[in-house]
Structure 1
Amino acid sequence: MRHYSFTDTERYQMTGLVDYTNLYSLPELWHKTAILFKDSVALIDPHAKPSVTLTYQQLYQHIQQFATGIQRLELPQDGKENIPCRVALFADNSPRWLIADQGIMLAGAADAVRSAAADRDELLYILKHSGSIGLVVENMKTYHQLCPELYQFSLQWVVLLSDETVDNTLPFKQLNFSQIMTLGSTHPLQPIHANHQTLATLIYTSGTTGQPKGVMLTHGNLIHQLVAASAIIQPCVGDRTLSILPTWHSFGRIGEYFTLSQGCTQIYTNRRYLKQDLQTFTPQYMVGVPRLWESIYEGIQKSFRDKPPRMQKLITKFLTISQQYIKVVRLCKGLDLQNLNPSRSQFVKAWVKTILLSPLHFLGEMIVYKKIQQATGGKVKQLISGGGSLAKHLEDFFEIVGIEILVGYGLTETSPVLTARRQHRNLRGASGLPLANTEIKIVDLDNRTTLPPGKPGLVMAKGPQIMQGYYLNPQATKNAIDEDGWFDTGDMGWLTPDNQLVLTGRAKDTIVLSNGENKEPQPIEDACLRSPYIDQIMLVGQDQKSLGALIVPNLEALAQALVQAGVGDSQATVPKNESPTHQVIEGQIDLNSPIVRNLFRQELNRQVRDRAGYRADDQITQFELIEEPFTIENGLLTQTLKIRRNLVADRYRDRIHQMFG
């Protein structure tokens, strides 16, 4: 058994009613919450048919019944030490997902989780790789999606989270949700003794080879997150939180566990009903990714554009003044990331400007910003953001209108949170301080020597939340975690003098979009290189809504295509050190001409869509055509002809910014 130690300050900040440091396994949480919050409402799903409302006591009873039911279906307990049998859980947000997730753990198994909407081949791979003996699926549609290959696995049973009629002619047992709950209500639960080292869940994440890797998270990993998060936010019993992130995703999942551990009421929503539910349920908290806040921001901006011209001008004037106001307030508080140590004269000037601007800012709050706050229900205490860095315009806007966002940072492999901003020192642009018992260091990318504060390098992390490893993949585990327990995050960043982490980009190839989705660029790039018009390509889009690309065109193939289109001649090339013309004439190609850009847009769409395993967010929506190839000589290729992504991104920073601007 492993317990965590915390400083007096951290314990003071941890105002939760339960001492979760003494939990042996995560499911013990629900017994404690059922006692403490008994008749308080835990879950509301207003969009289920019929709608669902569960108190904490009812939630615990349902988890127990589900656990007992699958124990009766058989759960072997003869696995390796701390590696219990696995049960695949392929479903999406709902109260039944949480009941199944925690029921599986309470029964003594570990779950391998993924969305029911995931690619069919990916689900089959996870089912096979995890060695799951049972399968819990969203509904019959998900079940039929996996057939007939499903019959080739050594499954002992399948449980539906719906109440659809089951097929009793299968080679394994199949029960619907009502049947498994009835089975569980007629038998006692067999106690299972898990500990902090016991595997709790497998979360599969993309790998560089294209095959997902199973991240092994233990009960201790998850419990650490519950305890440490209490130093970040302190909800009150009965506070409402909207759940919109996928609960099989590590960030959405730990957010759900934590708010429920504090006695909050969780309301399930989705993009279709988000605006309506914000007004109906007026939440105090939301856990989300940058794309969610971007969509709220865009909705507010649209409402501005619908105002009369005079009101639009007034709003713009207030926002401009408040932009100046928050900047000088940050400087006065030592929270200006570009000037953390202002001189005395800078401080005095900022202080004077604060006094001058504050009346106008507060007038804007009374006339405009209070109404904007109503877009999120009007009662938000904090928005919790993860899954990528938050764009500066979002940081500024939400601070101006008085809606506080606390940004955290982490990965699936770190359960997921490593660092988070605190309310008392909310340094915009940073990813916050390390959680309790967590160490962050910045090392040189080449020789791994530790770098001082302010010096950018590779972010390394160490702490109780670091995964056990990648399931059945010791080499990948060894590559990720060194002998001293330091995890290679693959991110670049630097530390402020007070140990706040500031991220600057990715050292590894993975691109994280603003919706939290991870994209491995190599397979998509390989598909695009099938085009005769693309000589080299590098995907970009970290923290953006969609993917973009820097493309070095094959000029010869492009010239021939233009000739066939009746534009230019077969000797056409791009002139060096000359401004591009607006048409293809006299041997010159304008890479910005509509005909050229349309050709590349069609090629990108066709090649990406034809790729095996294509998903809608694989689409490349923005691109820039560049004249200079990536070579060893200009430093943009390694000796083995791999693109130096960080150097290319640095060289073309302005064009990438313009691409997404």
Structure 2
Amino acid sequence: MDWLYSLCMPGTGGGGGETATRRHPLAAAGGLIDSAPPGVGTVYDAFLYRLRVEPDKETMGRRRVLRVVDEARGDGRVWSRFELGDYEWTTYREAAQTTRALGAGLAELVAGGAPRVAIHAPTSREWTLCMLACYSQAMQVVTAYDTLGDDGLAHAVAEAGASLLLVKADQLPAVARIAPRIRAVRAVVYYQDHYGMPPAACAALDAVRGQFAHVMAMDDVEALGRARPRDVRVARREDTALVMYTSGTTGAPRGALIAHGGLLAICGAIHALVPAYIDYAHDRVLSYLPLSHVLAFFVETYCIYSGIKIGYGAPRTLTEANMVPGCPGDIRALRPAVMLGVPQVWNTIRATILRQVDQRPWAVRQLFHAAVELKTWLVRRGLPTGLLDCVVFKKTRAATGGRLKIAITGGAQINPHVQKLVAAAVCPMIHGYGLTEASGLVAVQIPGDTTLGNVGPPVPSVEMKLVDVPEAGYFARDGRGEVCVRGPSVFQGYLGDDPQAREAVTEDGWLRTGDIGEWTPRGQLAIIDRRKNLVKLVSGEYVALEALESAYSSSKYVTNICVVADAHMARPCAIVNMDPAAVAHWAAEARLCAADDVADSRPFREMVYGDLLAVARQCRLQRQQILADIRIDPDLWTPENGMLTAASKLRRAAIHKRNAKRLQEIAAVV
């Protein structure tokens, strides 16, 4: 062991049921970072800083829709394919002119009202320009996932007391439906992106106009601000920047209050770690994850501050799957250097790669898997891998544009086997760990760290310790316990008098995350459990649902998986989810009849179950962690059908309800 990723602070730990407090070596020597250099402490100041340094640098890019081709499918559904143009870019100078005018217009509409603006729209250049416009007038932004249903949207807007609601045009029908429940809203602003104004939005527009004082297009608000300009008014670093609503896995979403200073402390921490790995003049980041999620938001804030170009994409147009022939998806069109993804995204990419590999001859399959192992071995020893990249992994690297050099995963645990394959076949992958209540990031692997199964050391803006969880058998004396975080990026609490807020942060400032962690010998953090997802079996032993889902997700058959366990069971079971195309593919591979009910057939289920047992052996799971039985749900879980949150986390109750009959079948045989 030649060096440590984090250091123990003198005079901490050693008793009382907690480990020593650990910090990143930079923070151990120089103190916790609380801003981005040179002392930038708010989001709009970060934008102004880059504007002063590089006013004509391109910052935000988008693609226009040239045409949409509808295809009729055999089942009666219509499938749309898109032809998009090249990326068109906005400079910092142009963005400044837009955001100042738009901010002045928004201020006119909410004059005398609450300084909160709710944004209910998908990730886009318009979302970011609206956010910056709010910050140019010291307004707070309330985030509301564009996949929230009517109840979730009404709850967020009403509880936050937002006086203005900004939406994409196709959300206007939802605004019309919830209008009686959001009486504090004085103005609704909508924008049409390059997809145009849907017929349903046109129909809803008149209804919306009859229920709010002002209903205006975003372009008209910008024109209003140009006619009535205002001086820029920037908040203080301690002021609230975001009322960021969690995605609500078990109940109504809660609004976390995040300060400008917390976000810029994260930016400062990132800037202390990554400059050696980034070409700020040329590198691009693909933005497609929801900006209502803290992971995407803080990364975008850092890009705006540092000058990394942001190219916007959409889940439907990332690849060529939904494009007209010859038109590249967003990844290949942008050719990003950095790409974010939640584990579900990387699981899908890995499954796609393996599906393609399995179609090749036996010798080619063996060569591919041997090359993954060899490249992993070479990278860990600092040896060149150019030959493997050019010969074996050329196609997989080209599929992501050929310039990708860092893949970032966050939002939940990722299976080490998924991380290993993506790192070999595509580009190095680093695992980060964060939560909304800590402004997004508390630990991250450093580019070049090839170890698996950990999320790296604490970032330089926080310090961290582990605290006993005796009921689950986790003790600080063993280097295990609940992860607790303290620093300038910890949130200000939840909106309203939420008793959970009082429980979340201790009197001396420690945020209790609810995650169970373990220190590696070199001072990295590994997330091994989630406190609320620990379930005691009939034997008295505990199993961690999320940890098992992460392990089993390395099966090539799994698009998503929900592990189920309770106090009456000796071993857990699971609902395995895959889309109909994957079911048909694997059924054809196994030479099973690809009928509509093949997913419920015993032969197909046994094939998938056998692979899951192989995964359990590979991961060295204990007996009580091995699945007793499974059932397969062949309809893909998505945020739109309510099975996943907007952050792609499982909604367990909804999945259980949907699969109640399948779970009853399991209960009868387990």
Q: What is the distance in 2 between the residues matched to 1:502 and 1:373?
A: 28
Quick check: 1:10–1:231 contact (8 Å CA) kept in 2?
A: no
Q: 1:427 is paired with a residue of what secondary structure?
A: coil
**Deviation at 1:627?**
8.0
Quick check: 1:441–1:459 contact (8 Å CA) kept in 2?
A: yes
> Could you report, residue by residue, the CA deviation over 1:286-308 in whole angstroms, capped at 9, with x for unpaired residues?
1221222222223333332444x
State which drifts further: 403-412 or 422-431. Answer: 422-431
Q: What is the distance in 1 between the residues matched to 2:29 and 2:470?
A: 41
Cα gap change, 1:129 to 1:295, in 2 (>3 Å): same
1:427 pairs with one of 414, 426, 451: 451
Cα gap change, 1:45 to 1:258, in 2 (>3 Å): same
1:74 pairs with one of 105, 110, 132: 110
Q: 2:268 is paired with a residue of what secondary structure?
A: helix
2:507 pairs with one of 474, 480, 483: 483
Q: How does 1:578-593 map to 2 (within 5 A)?
A: none
Cα gap change, 1:392 to 1:173, in 2 (>3 Å): same
1:462 pairs with one of 461, 486, 491: 486
Q: How does 1:91-240 map to 2 (within 5 A)?
A: 91-139=121-169, 141-152=170-181, 153-162=183-192, 167=206, 169-206=210-247, 210-234=251-275, 235=278, 236-240=280-284
> Could you report, residue by residue, the CA deviation over 1:272-319 in whole angstroms, capped at 9, with x for unpaired residues?
322222222211111221222222223333332444x2xx51342352
Q: What is the distance in 2 between the residues matched to 1:207 and 1:281?
A: 32
Q: What is the distance in 2 between the residues matched to 1:248 and 1:213?
A: 13
Q: What is the distance in 2 between the residues matched to 1:456 and 1:204?
A: 30
> Could you report, residue by residue, the CA deviation over 1:375-425 in whole angstroms, capped at 9, with x for unpaired residues?
211111211211122212222213333611111101111111000001243
> Could you report, residue by residue, the CA deviation over 1:81-139 in whole angstroms, capped at 9, with x for unpaired residues?
xxx73221111111110111121122221111112331111101111111111111111
Quick check: 1:553–1:626 contact (8 Å CA) kept in 2?
A: no
Cα gap change, 1:238 to 1:551, in 2 (>3 Å): closer
Quick check: 2:454–2:524 contact (8 Å CA) kept in 1?
A: yes
Q: How does 1:55-66 map to 2 (within 5 A)?
A: 55-66=91-102
Cα gap change, 1:298 to 1:113, in 2 (>3 Å): same
Cα gap change, 1:262 to 1:604, in 2 (>3 Å): closer
Q: Aligned residue for 2:285?
A: 241
Quick check: 1:454–1:495 contact (8 Å CA) kept in 2?
A: no
State which drifts further: 315-324 or 402-411. Answer: 315-324
**Deviation at 1:499?**
2.0
Q: What is the distance in 1 between the residues matched to 2:191 and 2:374?
A: 52
Quick check: 1:20–1:226 contact (8 Å CA) kept in 2?
A: no
Tell me, yes or no, if structure 1 residue 392 matches structure 2 residue 385.
no
Q: Aligned residue for 1:516?
A: none
Q: What is the distance in 1 between the residues matched to 2:29 and 2:469?
A: 38
Cα gap change, 1:552 to 1:489, in 2 (>3 Å): closer
Q: Aligned residue for 1:258?
A: 302
Q: How does 1:275-286 map to 2 (within 5 A)?
A: 275=319, 276-286=329-339
Q: What is the distance in 2 between the residues matched to 1:59 and 1:267?
A: 14
Aligned partner letter, 1:88: A
**Deviation at 1:73?**
1.3
Q: 2:141 is paired with a residue of what secondary structure?
A: strand
Aligned partner letter, 1:145: A
Identity of aligned residues (%): 23
State which drifts further: 620-629 or 189-198. Answer: 620-629
Q: What is the distance in 2 between the residues matched to 1:596 and 1:181?
A: 57
Quick check: 2:44–2:234 contact (8 Å CA) kept in 1?
A: no
> Could you report, residue by residue, the CA deviation over 1:579-622 in whole angstroms, capped at 9, with x for unpaired residues?
xxxxxxxxxxxxx979999xx9999999x99xx97769643579
* Length, aligned pairs only: 519
Q: Aligned residue for 2:357?
A: 304
2:342 pairs with one of 289, 297, 300: 289
Cα gap change, 1:449 to 1:548, in 2 (>3 Å): closer
CA RMSD of aligned residues (A): 4.1
Q: Aligned residue for 2:370?
A: 320
**Deviation at 1:222?**
0.8
Rg larger in structure: 1
Aligned partner letter, 2:229: P
Structure 2 stretches lacking a partner, 5+ long:
1-22, 67-83, 320-328, 536-542, 554-558, 570-600, 607-628
Q: What is the distance in 1 between the residues matched to 2:164 and 2:36?
A: 33
Q: 1:417 is paired with a residue of what secondary structure?
A: coil
Scaled by the length of structure 1, what TM-score is found?
A: 0.69
Q: Aligned residue for 2:10?
A: none
Q: 2:104 is paired with a residue of what secondary structure?
A: helix
**Deviation at 1:230?**
1.3
Quick check: 2:124–2:313 contact (8 Å CA) kept in 1?
A: no
Cα gap change, 1:626 to 1:552, in 2 (>3 Å): farther
Cα gap change, 1:193 to 1:364, in 2 (>3 Å): closer
Quick check: 1:241–1:264 contact (8 Å CA) kept in 2?
A: yes
Q: Aligned residue for 1:383?
A: 407
Cα gap change, 1:449 to 1:466, in 2 (>3 Å): farther
Quick check: 1:419–1:432 contact (8 Å CA) kept in 2?
A: yes
Quick check: 2:455–2:525 contact (8 Å CA) kept in 1?
A: yes
Aligned partner letter, 2:42: S
Q: Aligned residue for 2:397?
A: 373
Aligned partner letter, 2:486: K
> Could you report, residue by residue, the CA deviation over 1:522-555 in whole angstroms, capped at 9, with x for unpaired residues?
xxxxxxxxxxxxxxx9976744553424367999
**Deviation at 1:60?**
1.6
Q: Aligned residue for 2:613?
A: none
**Deviation at 1:169?**
4.2
